[in-house]
Amino acid sequence: MHIDWTLVFTALGLAFVFEGLPYFLWAERMPRVLLELATKPPMVLRMLGMAAMLGGLLLIYIVRN
């Protein structure tokens, strides 16, 4: 199996960009958002994470096919 490291690091770089974007664009609101997330039960956070992962996989599937 051949791993395309350029693609792996490109994807990792894009993940960092998208993770940092809300903090850059809405720096004043992020502490309030993070406090709100901290009060959510773990199951809600898991469902949010699962929805984000499934949305990401769907986007990859659509773009790659």
Instruction: Note whether 30 and 23 are within 8 A (CB).
Output: yes
**Tens digits of per-residue pLDDT, 34-46?**
999 999 999 999 9
Sign of the CA dihedral running 46, 42, 15, 52: positive
43 touches 51 (CB < 8 A): no
Domain assignment of residue 12, given as a range: 5-64
Confidence tier at 1 by pLDDT (50, 70, 90)? confident
Confidence of residue 62 (pLDDT cuts 50, 70, 90): very high
pTM, 2 dp = 0.74
Angle 30-38/5-25 helices, nearest 10 degrees?
100
Q: How far apart are CA 49 and CA 20, in angstroms?
A: 17
Number of domains in the chain: 1
